[in-house]
Amino acid sequence: TQLLEQSPQFLSIQEGENLTVYCNSSSVFSSLQWYRQEPGEGPVLLVTVVTGGEVKKLKRLTFQFGDARKDSSLHITAAQPGDTGLYLCAGLLLIQGAQKLVFGQGTRLTINP
């Protein structure tokens, strides 16, 4: 079973449409990160949300951390072909004094011109 469930796993939409990706868990996270991965490259951090209810915006991307710090969402407005990629959420847990980052399965997003 996946500790952090990400949905949908695949999404293909037309340019200009809006979309939302979700990450859900029964665990409480210290913080939650969103990464984007291009083919042939490693993931790159987009944003970190720390406080329950926090909202961060990065141009057309809006990230929200749930009030209980168990879930997060990524909303893209007016998607562009350049938004195509694999989006990963990752939650930071504190376990016995050590930090552990757990990843969702990823959402492969395709924006069609």
The site for other proteins (CB under 8 A) is made up of: 2, 6, 9, 31, 33, 35, 40-45, 48, 50, 88, 90, 92, 98-101, 103-106
Q: How far is the CB of 42 from other proteins (least distance, A)?
A: 3
Q: Which is nearer to other proteins, 42 or 113 (CB)?
A: 42
Please give the C-alpha separations between residue 16 and each of 37, 49, 54, 62, in angstroms, as whole numbers. 21, 26, 26, 16
What are the start-end ranges of the E strands in 15-106? 19-24, 31-37, 44-49, 55-58, 61-65, 71-76, 85-95, 98-103
Residue in 26, 69, 18 with CA at minimum distance from that of residue 48: 69
Query: Dihedral of the CA atoms 41, 47, 50, 55 (nearest 10)?
Result: -140
Using the minimum distance from each CB to other proteins, give the nearer residue, 70 or 107: 107
Q: How far is the CB of 74 from other proteins (least distance, A)?
A: 15
Instruction: State which residue, 66 or 91, has the beta carbon closest to other proteins.
Output: 91
Q: Which is nearer to other proteins, 40 or 82 (CB)?
A: 40
For tokens 């395709």, name the residue: 110
Minimum separation from the CB atom of position 65 to other proteins (A): 12
Q: How far is the CB of 90 from other proteins (least distance, A)?
A: 8
